[in-house]
Amino acid sequence: MLLLLVFVAAAHRGVADDGYRLWLKYDRLADAGQRAQYQKAARFVAVAGPDPVLRTAAAELQRGLQGLLGQPVPMQASAGPLSGGIVLKVERNAIDASAPNAPEGYRIYAEKNNLVVASPSAAGVLYGAYAVLRRVQTGGALAGWAVRSTPRIRYRLLNHWDNPNGTVERGYAGSSIWKWEELPQRLDPRYTDYARANASIGLNGVVVNNVNASARYLTPEYLPKVAALAGVMRPYGIRVYLSVFWAAPKVIGGLPTADPLDPAVQKWWANKTDEIYRAIPDFGGFLVKANSEGEPGPQDYQRTHADGANMLAKALGTHDGVVMWRAFVYKADGSGDRFKEAYQDFQPLDGKFDPKVLVQVKNGPIDFQAREPFHPLFGAMPRTPLVLEVQLTQEYLGFATHAVYLGPLIKECLEADTHAQGPGSTVAKVVAGSLDHHAQSGIAGVANIGSVRNWTGHPLGQANWYAFGRLAWDHTLDPGALAEEWTRMSLTTNAAAVRSITALLDQSRSIYVRYTTPLGLHHIMGESIHYGPQPWLAKAGRPDWTAVYYHRGDSVGLGFDRTAAGSNALALYQPAVQKQWGSAATCPLDYLLWFHHVGWKQPLSTGRTLWNELCHRYYTGADSVAWLQKQWAAARPALDAAVYADVASRLQIQQQEAYWWRDACVLYFQTLARQPVPAPFAPPTRTLADIKRQVQVYQLK
Ligand X SMILES: CO[C@H]1[C@H](O)[C@@H](O)[C@H](O)O[C@@H]1C(=O)O
Q: What is the total count of residues that contact ligand X (CB under 6 A)?
A: 11
Shortest Cβ 239–ligand X spacing (Å): 22
User: What is the three-state SS of 662-700?
Assistant: HHHHHHHHHHHHCCCCCCCCCCCCCCHHHHHHHHHHHHC
Instruction: Say how far apart CA 456 and CA 651 lie, in whole Å.
Output: 16
Shortest Cβ 296–ligand X spacing (Å): 14
Shortest Cβ 340–ligand X spacing (Å): 17
Shortest Cβ 397–ligand X spacing (Å): 11
User: Binder to ligand X among 170, 319, 352, 692 (CB under 6 A)?
Assistant: 170
| C-beta of 395 vs 412, nearer to ligand X | 395
User: Binder to ligand X among 192, 212, 219, 567 (CB under 6 A)?
Assistant: 212
Radius of gyration of the chain (CA): 26
CA 98 to mean position of chain CA atoms: 29
642 burial level (CB within 10 Å; 0-12, 13-18, 19+): middle
| C-beta of 169 vs 474, nearer to ligand X | 169
Instruction: Say how far apart CA 154 and CA 204 lie, in whole Å.
Output: 9
| C-beta of 51 vs 169, nearer to ligand X | 169
Chain positions 279 to 318 lying near ligand X, rule: CB under 6 A, are 289, 293
Instruction: Say how far apart CA 264 and CA 36 lie, in whole Å.
Output: 67
Instruction: Say how far apart CA 203 and CA 207 lie, in whole Å.
Output: 12
Chain positions 82 to 121 lying near ligand X, rule: CB under 6 A, are none
| C-beta of 205 vs 637, nearer to ligand X | 205
Q: Count the Cβ atoms, other than its own, within 10 Å of residue 18.
A: 13
Shortest Cβ 329–ligand X spacing (Å): 9
Chain positions 460 to 489 lying near ligand X, rule: CB under 6 A, are none
Chain positions 192 to 211 lying near ligand X, rule: CB under 6 A, are 211
User: Binder to ligand X among 26, 161, 269, 661 (CB under 6 A)?
Assistant: 161
Instruction: Say how far apart CA 209 and CA 163 lie, in whole Å.
Output: 6
Check binding of 169 to ligand X (CB under 6 A): yes
Amino acid identity, position 164:
P
Shortest Cβ 691–ligand X spacing (Å): 23
Check binding of 328 to ligand X (CB under 6 A): yes
| C-beta of 170 vs 190, nearer to ligand X | 170
Shortest Cβ 372–ligand X spacing (Å): 12
Report which residue's Cβ sits closest to ligand X.
367
Check binding of 325 to ligand X (CB under 6 A): no
Check binding of 178 to ligand X (CB under 6 A): no
Q: Count the Cβ atoms, other than its own, within 10 Å of residue 48.
A: 15
Shortest Cβ 390–ligand X spacing (Å): 11
| C-beta of 120 vs 171, nearer to ligand X | 171
H-type helices in 562-609, by residue range?
Answer: 575-581, 592-595
The residues assigned a catalytic role are 293, 367, 395
Interacting residues of 4 by C-beta distance below 8 A, sequence separation 6+: none
| C-beta of 88 vs 361, nearer to ligand X | 361
Provide φ and ψ at 107, rounded to 5°.
Answer: -130, 135
Check binding of 331 to ligand X (CB under 6 A): no
Instruction: Say how far apart CA 641 and CA 12 lie, in whole Å.
Output: 11
Q: Are 432 and 589 in contact (CB under 8 A)?
A: no
User: Binder to ligand X among 307, 341, 395, 657 (CB under 6 A)?
Assistant: 395
- Strand partners for 445: 158, 390
| C-beta of 315 vs 444, nearer to ligand X | 444
Instruction: Say how far apart CA 516 and CA 370 lie, in whole Å.
Output: 8
Shortest Cβ 29–ligand X spacing (Å): 42
Provide φ and ψ at 259, rounded to 5°.
Answer: -60, 120
CA 292 to mean position of chain CA atoms: 21
Amino acid identity, position 298:
P
| C-beta of 325 vs 368, nearer to ligand X | 368
| C-beta of 62 vs 363, nearer to ligand X | 363
Instruction: Say how far apart CA 198 and CA 178 lie, in whole Å.
Output: 15
Shortest Cβ 589–ligand X spacing (Å): 26
Cα dihedral 377, 379, 380, 382 sign: positive
Q: Which of 569, 567, 595, 594 is nearest to 582 (CA)?
A: 595
Give the x/- contact pattern for ligand X in 341-380, rule: CB under 6 A: --------------------------xx------------
Interacting residues of 222 by C-beta distance below 8 A, sequence separation 6+: 164, 180, 216
Which residues sit at the interface with ligand X, rule CB under 6 A?
Answer: 161, 169-170, 211-212, 289, 293, 328, 367-368, 395
